[in-house]
Chains A and B, each alone.
Chain A
């Protein structure tokens, strides 16, 4: 199974790796994971540059800054959306920067042991990537990025067949007007973070948070599927739907729980995760 997973990852990234002269793997320790221990964490590693030209490019440097700023904004949007739905629903998500940490693009360093450690530290997603410039005839070089996401709770608690935890996405995914916006916001980040958050929250019997996050992640993954490359996303989406259903059922059956999910009609969940 691992061999298949590695082959699938490799086929996606091999061309980029060949060109990535400056990007070299360095999974240094992330020492500040235990700050704010009650919060779930989105870990943002240092982006690397694929070439010397990319490293010197002012636009890419600015893009790197904007990405970090925008991620904080995304988390704020999630928290506000949860509050809008239920004023008592807290979404304890926090961005953690791991300066100098640059995993290899295919995420080989994320072993089962590391995933367990990160999951225990409440890391719901870790993200890393390589920024590059792509020249096209008659036009100035445009920014592009290969971004890796891993969801440690999914890797720790589920099998690859149940829910693939690691995703490598190339941006911009499609041409046209949305590309620049997509590259600056990396919309998949929220979706993957929500999957990790929901998985952890469900296991902690935080049913309201888990069901909200699973439901919102479902919409985010469906959006990401529009850009193609859907097989791994299809499987992840299947897990999210099943897990949302089983979490609602667990909430209904839990006598200690008195929240809104008690009022949800009973359902039959196909293939529990």
Chain B
């Protein structure tokens, strides 16, 4: 696993990074933390990490979903808003139905921001860095939540 992480970090292109992420995903829940960390490590790395996390979630949702939800519900300012957004996408792909109420609450809080920049700044205090969060970010997060809730709702229907 250590070698795979090293290869992942030194991947020369997206295809190699993806392959390493798939390899890491085979370690299941043990790979979640390293992959979540790599969501914040640059553009190519984060796309590959997202793929790896999606595989873990598809393969073992019972274990993975609570960990994914833990990232989105985090209030200890450990993650960037972009990481929340990616995890919300992964939650949808992993069919984490039990996270729907949390996501609905997140959506309500985002809607309450309206177009008020000061409220957005206060809201951003839940993230590891606040400066890049603005009204545009809130709209992007809201769209991701809507897409994920649509997937979860579709799965809930018989």
Closest beta carbon of chain A to B11's beta carbon, Å: 7
- Which residues of A have CB within 8 Å of B139? 203
Residue A52 at the chain B interface, CB threshold 8 Å: no
- Which residues of B have CB within 8 Å of A114? 14, 43-44, 47
Closest beta carbon of chain B to A206's beta carbon, Å: 8
- Contact call A34/B117, Cβ cutoff below 8 A: no
- Which residues of A have CB within 8 Å of B137? 120
Which residues of B1-60 are within 8 A (CB) of A? 11-14, 17, 40-47
Count: A-B pairs, CB below 8 Å: 70
Residue A200 at the chain B interface, CB threshold 8 Å: yes
Counting chain A CB atoms within 10 Å of each CB, which of B11, B134, B135, B137 scores highest?
A: B134
- Contact call A33/B135, Cβ cutoff below 8 A: no
Which residues of A85-118 are within 8 A (CB) of B? 109, 113-114, 117-118
- Contact call B82/A120, Cβ cutoff below 8 A: yes
- Contact call A28/B47, Cβ cutoff below 8 A: no
Residue B104 at the chain A interface, CB threshold 8 Å: no
Which residues of A6-34 are within 8 A (CB) of B? 25-34
- Contact call A118/B115, Cβ cutoff below 8 A: no
1/0 per position for B87-99, CB-CB distance to A under 8 A?
0000000000000
For the complex, give the distance between the alpha carbons of A178 and B137 in Å: 41
- For the complex of A and B, 8 pairs with smallest distance between CB atoms: A38-B131, A37-B132, A31-B42, A29-B44, A203-B136, A29-B42, A204-B136, A204-B134
Q: A30-B44, A117-B43, A203-B136 are in contact. List 18 more A-B contacts (CB 8 A).
A: A27-B14, A28-B12, A29-B41, A30-B43, A31-B45, A34-B42, A34-B80, A109-B14, A114-B14, A114-B47, A120-B82, A121-B43, A121-B132, A122-B132, A200-B136, A204-B135, A254-B115, A256-B115
Which of B's residues lie within 8 Å of A, judged by CB?
A: 11-14, 17, 40-47, 80, 82, 85, 115-117, 129, 131-132, 134-137, 139-140
